[in-house]
């Protein structure tokens, strides 16, 4: 089967880039904290007053060119890999769930710290990779072994470098891990249920089941490529 392009990852990178261009055009970059807040940065105190949209807008803003460059490189690396394994729609679901978890962590644990950047959601994708590795069993040990050191290094850098929101990183990481486990658990249950239904149909009417399988094989080739596993 031909490998599809990771359109979800590229779309997220494009949205972040467009927001960055808008920030540049509006004089938001390297400005004071009040300008960032005025343009939609995440600030827990304001979120708790009803401005929940800041969880989303803050995750697509960045402080400067180096900030967005590092985040988009990381998003490209881990996003394309998660999308290849989980499919585009699941990757987007994991990203936005991680974004929400990251934003809520900042809101409740660092309510007075203005926060911008995609790193919380990106940490969530790393967490999802660990969850995928666990669900794969023995085949996923290598994936876990490669992912955990990356997570550890980035968490350590967060403590060593000032002005990095550890609440955002840890919140995204935990959200991505939990949602990754949940998504793949549901996927496995659906696969088992489908196999049970097919077995029941085969036992009741072997001829009809075989005819149905042949029809699906002939008509469903495009659908098979829609969600690469």
pLDDT at 55 over 60: yes
The residue from 153, 168, 184 where one domain ends is 184
State the Cα–Cα distance between residues 59 and 55, nearest whole angstrom: 6
Let me know if residue 124 belongs to a domain: yes
CA distance from start to end of the chain: 11
pLDDT band at 31, cuts 50/70/90? Answer: low
Torsion of CA 186, 225, 215, 187, to 10 degrees: 0
Check residue 186 and give its pLDDT: 67
pLDDT tens digits, 171-186: 999 999 999 999 877 6
Range in 82-96, 120-134, 196-210 the model is least confident about: 196-210
pLDDT at 45 over 60: yes
188 or 202: which carries more pLDDT confidence? 188
Q: In the numeric block, which tokens belong to residue 81? A: 């890999």
Let me know if residue 2 belongs to a domain: no
Does residue 11 sit in the same domain as residue 89?
Answer: yes
pTM exceeding 0.85: no
State the Cα–Cα distance between residues 102 and 179, nearest whole angstrom: 13
pLDDT band at 24, cuts 50/70/90? Answer: confident
Does residue 61 sit in the same domain as residue 133?
Answer: yes
Let me know if residue 121 belongs to a domain: yes
pLDDT band at 188, cuts 50/70/90? Answer: low
C-alpha dihedral sign at 8, 123, 127, 57: negative
Q: Identify the DSSP state of 115.
A: B
* Length of the chain measured in residues: 229
Return the active site residues: 119, 169
pLDDT at 110 over 60: yes
Contacts of 94 (CB under 8 A, 6+ apart): 82, 86, 124, 125, 128, 176, 179, 180, 183
State the Cα–Cα distance between residues 215 and 198, nearest whole angstrom: 14
Does residue 208 sit in the same domain as residue 161?
Answer: no
Q: Strands, E, within the chain: which ranges?
A: none
Q: Kindly state the percentage of the chain with pLDDT values over 90.
A: 53
Q: In the numeric block, which tokens belong to residue 58? A: 């803050």
pLDDT at 46 over 70: yes
- Give the total number of structural domains in the chain: 2
pLDDT at 229 over 90: no
Range in 121-135, 182-196, 211-225 the model is least confident about: 211-225
pLDDT at 92 over 60: yes
Looking up tokens 């085949």 gives 139
């Amino acid at each position: 089967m031909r490998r599809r392009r990771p359109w979800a990852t590229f779309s997220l990178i494009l949205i972040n880039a467009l927001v960055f261009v808008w920030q540049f055009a509006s004089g938001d970059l390297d400005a004071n904290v009040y300008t960032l807040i005025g343009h939609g940065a995440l600030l827990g105190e304001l979120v708790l007053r009803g401005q929940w949209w800041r969880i989303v807008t803050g995750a697509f803003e960045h402080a400067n060119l180096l900030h967005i460059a590092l985040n988009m490189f990381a998003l490209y690396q881990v996003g394309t890999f998660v999308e290849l394994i989980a499919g585009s729609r699941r990757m987007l679901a994991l990203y936005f769930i991680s974004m929400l978890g990251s934003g809520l962590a900042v809101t409740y644990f660092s309510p007075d710290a203005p926060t911008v950047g995609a790193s919380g959601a990106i940490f969530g994708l790393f967490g999802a990779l660990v969850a995928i590795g666990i669900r794969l069993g023995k085949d996923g040990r290598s994936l876990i072994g490669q992912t955990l050191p990356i997570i550890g290094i980035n968490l350590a850098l967060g403590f060593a470098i000032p002005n990095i929101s550890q609440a955002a990183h840890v919140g995204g990481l935990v959200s991505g891990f939990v949602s990754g486990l949940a998504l793949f658990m549901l996927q496995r249950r659906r696969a088992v249920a489908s196999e049970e239904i097919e077995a029941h149909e085969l036992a009741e009417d072997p001829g009809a089941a075989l005819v149905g399988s042949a029809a699906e094989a002939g008509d469903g080739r495009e659908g098979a490529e829609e969600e690469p596993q």
